[in-house]
């Protein structure tokens, strides 16, 4: 009969939230896009997430076959991600209660996203007698090994919680081969219970456009060198590295200032919430007010226009389990200059679809960016390679592989 219906758990952030601010980011895109593609294959999906507003409907139909269920657990506003473990019991109770209103066997599998959700998923697994598939998305041990300057280490409670989820899950879905190795080497995951499934890109939304036309629409000079950052403004994502690299570029080549534009599309998140104006302060300190433009988070269709308008997209993160921004940018035919960390080494083909930088030193970043700006032939090569590379990743393939993982998890399910 196969997998008819899946309960997805995304406790700390709703797939309906706008990516690019708060705790909303690539995982939000992942959950909703995967759910929609699973539904298209005939597997209905109920997504359980914590309600953050009294105005939210208890159940929202996100698309055909996909329901988002808002669970009341704790105050609607004011809870940080660090405070959410205190709401796990209430959230889990409400998830179990929601399922109890259906006939036995309503769900065929549980798919949890991030460790907090994994804790709830483990309870649901045991109560419902269905397999638990878990996606980490990020891992405390990996993050703590490569902390950005001034960032806060992940607490021991999260490390312990992640270890518990690894031990409870019937199958772990890793975004890349590297993440699979990290699960095995850092968390002692059973290699036979780790499946690599690459996330995808909506190749209809993220596609090449006429660069001059899009720049005109966005108010960007047609002949500008546009270096784009897209994502949450926090130390982990390192937008400051791009800003400092831009300052270095202007110092080296003063003539660049007249045509250099650095749009930062996104909002404060994580540790960035403690100092929401820190990046703007750095821009003023470096005298780049005429170069850097801050743009609030935008919808996917609008983000695609920013990618298409850019000369290149910078992804200087200290860690990325996959690097959805890099994949989306490449799908728009825009090369990526990215840190050689985590999943970015899988998403970006160095010298073919972009460049990988082995450090977070702004001088090194300025050199790599300048190499692309100076070499028109290299830029054309990277643009052509970017789209080809992105076409490797599609949500349809992700959904098909994930559904197969659910079926495999059912066979692997432990008593």
Model confidence pLDDT, tens digit, residues 164-210: 999 999 999 999 999 999 999 999 999 999 999 999 999 999 999 99
Kindly report, residue by residue over 197-241, the tens digit of the pLDDT. Answer: 999 999 999 999 999 999 999 999 999 999 999 998 988 899 999
- pLDDT, averaged across the chain: 93
Please list, in sequence order, all residues whose beta carbon lies within 8 angstroms of the beta carbon of residue 362, skipping any fewer than 6 positions away. Answer: 241, 244, 245, 247, 248
Q: What phi, psi does 204 have (nearest 5°)?
A: -85, -40
Question: What's the whole-number mean pLDDT along residues 276-294?
Answer: 93
pTM of the model as a whole = 0.90
Count of CA atoms in the C-beta half-sphere (13 A) of 374: 10
Query: Whose CA is closest to 406, among 111, 128, 119, 168?
Result: 111
Distance CA 303, CA 244 (A): 23
- For residue 132, give both structure tokens: 């638990």
SS3 sequence, 226-257? EEEEECCECHHHCHHHHHHHHHHHHHHCHHHH
Sheet arrangement for strand 194-196: 59-63, 66-71, 44-50, 5-9, 109-113, 132-135, 171-174, 194-196
Judged on CB neighbours under 10 Å (0-12, 13-18, 19+), 317 is: buried
Q: Where are the beta strands (DSSP E) in 266-325?
A: 292-295, 312-315
Q: Are 297 and 18 in contact (CB under 8 A)?
A: yes
Q: What is the pLDDT of residue 183?
A: 97
Q: Are 116 and 136 in contact (CB under 8 A)?
A: no
Please report, in range form, the residues annotated as the binding site for 1D-myo-inositol 3-phosphate.
Answer: 12, 23-28, 81, 114, 138, 158
Q: How far is CA 247 from the centre of its chain?
A: 28
Question: What's the whole-number mean pLDDT along residues 39-57?
Answer: 93
Lowest-confidence region among 49-58, 267-276, 399-408: 267-276
Judged on CB neighbours under 10 Å (0-12, 13-18, 19+), 382 is: buried
Per-residue b or e along 41-53, where b marks 16 or more CB atoms closer than 10 Å to that residue's CB: eebbbbbbbbbbe
Per-residue b or e along 90-123, where b marks 16 or more CB atoms closer than 10 Å to that residue's CB: ebbebbeebbeeeeeebbbbbbbbbbbbbbbbbb
Query: Whose CA is closest to 327, among 309, 345, 340?
Result: 345
Give, as one character, the DSSP assignment of residue 154.
P
User: What is the pairing mode between strands 66-71 and 59-63?
Assistant: antiparallel
Residue 275 has pLDDT above 50, yes or no: no
Please report, in range form, the residues annotated as the binding site for Mg(2+).
Answer: 307, 310, 334
What band does 274 get if pLDDT is binned at 50, 70 and 90? very low
Q: Are 283 and 2 in contact (CB under 8 A)?
A: no
Q: What is the pLDDT of residue 84?
A: 84
Please report, in range form, the residues annotated as the binding site.
Answer: 12, 18-19, 23-28, 81, 114, 138, 158, 232, 237, 298, 307, 310, 320, 328, 334
Kindly report, residue by residue over 72-125, the tens digit of the pLDDT. Answer: 988 877 777 787 888 899 999 999 999 999 998 999 999 999 999 999 999 999
Place of tokens 């889990």: 92
Q: Are 378 and 351 in contact (CB under 8 A)?
A: no
Q: How far is CA 389 from the centre of its chain?
A: 18
- For residue 72, give both structure tokens: 């009341």
For the chain, give percent helix, strand, coil, nearest 5.
45, 20, 35
Please report, in range form, the residues annotated as the binding site for UDP-N-acetyl-alpha-D-glucosamine.
Answer: 18-19, 26, 232, 237, 298, 320, 328
Q: What is the pLDDT of residue 346?
A: 95
């Amino acid at each position: 009969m196969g997998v008819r219906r899946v309960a997805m758990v995304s406790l700390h952030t709703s797939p309906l939230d706008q990516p690019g601010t708060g705790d909303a980011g690539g995982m939000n895109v992942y959950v909703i896009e995967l759910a929609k593609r699973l539904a298209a294959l005939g597997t209905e999906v109920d997504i359980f997430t914590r309600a953050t507003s009294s105005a939210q409907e208890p159940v929202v139909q996100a698309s055909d076959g996909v329901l988002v269920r808002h669970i009341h657990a704790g105050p609607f506003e004011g809870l940080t991600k660090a405070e959410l473990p205190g709401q796990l019991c209430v959230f889990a109770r409400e998830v179990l209660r929601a399922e109890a209103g259906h006939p036995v066997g309503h769900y065929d599998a549980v798919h949890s996203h991030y460790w907090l959700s994994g804790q709830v998923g483990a309870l649901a697994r045991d109560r419902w007698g269905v397999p638990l598939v878990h996606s980490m998305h990020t891992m405390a041990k990996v993050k703590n090994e490569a902390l950005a300057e001034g960032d806060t280490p992940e607490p021991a409670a999260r490390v312990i919680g992640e270890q518990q989820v690894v031990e409870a899950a019937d199958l772990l879905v890793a975004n890349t081969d590297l993440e699979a190795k990290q699960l095995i080497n850092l968390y002692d995951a059973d290699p036979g219970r780790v499946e690599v499934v690459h996330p995808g890109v909506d190749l209809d939304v993220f596609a090449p456009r006429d660069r001059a036309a899009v720049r005109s629409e966005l108010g960007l000079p047609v002949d500008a060198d546009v270096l784009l950052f897209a994502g949450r403004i926090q130390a982990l994502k390192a937008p400051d590295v791009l800003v400092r690299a831009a300052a270095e570029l202007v110092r080296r080549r003063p003539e660049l200032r007249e045509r250099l534009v650095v749009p930062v599309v996104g909002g404060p998140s994580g540790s960035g919430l403690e100092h929401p104006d820190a990046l703007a302060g750095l821009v003023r300190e470096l005298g780049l007010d005429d170069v850097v433009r801050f743009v609030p988070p935008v919808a996917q269709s609008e983000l695609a226009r920013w990618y298409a308008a850019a000369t290149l997209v910078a992804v200087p993160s200290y860690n990325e389990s996959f690097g959805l921004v890099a994949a989306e940018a490449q799908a728009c035919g825009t090369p990526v200059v990215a840190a050689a960390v985590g999943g970015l080494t899988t998403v970006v083909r160095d010298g073919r679809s972009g460049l990988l930088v082995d450090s977070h030193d702004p001088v090194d970043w300025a050199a790599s960016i300048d190499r692309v700006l100076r070499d028109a032939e290299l830029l054309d090569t990277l643009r052509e390679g970017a789209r080809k590379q992105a076409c490797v990743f599609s949500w349809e393939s992700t959904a098909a592989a994930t559904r197969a993982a659910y079926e495999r998890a059912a066979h692997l399910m432990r008593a």
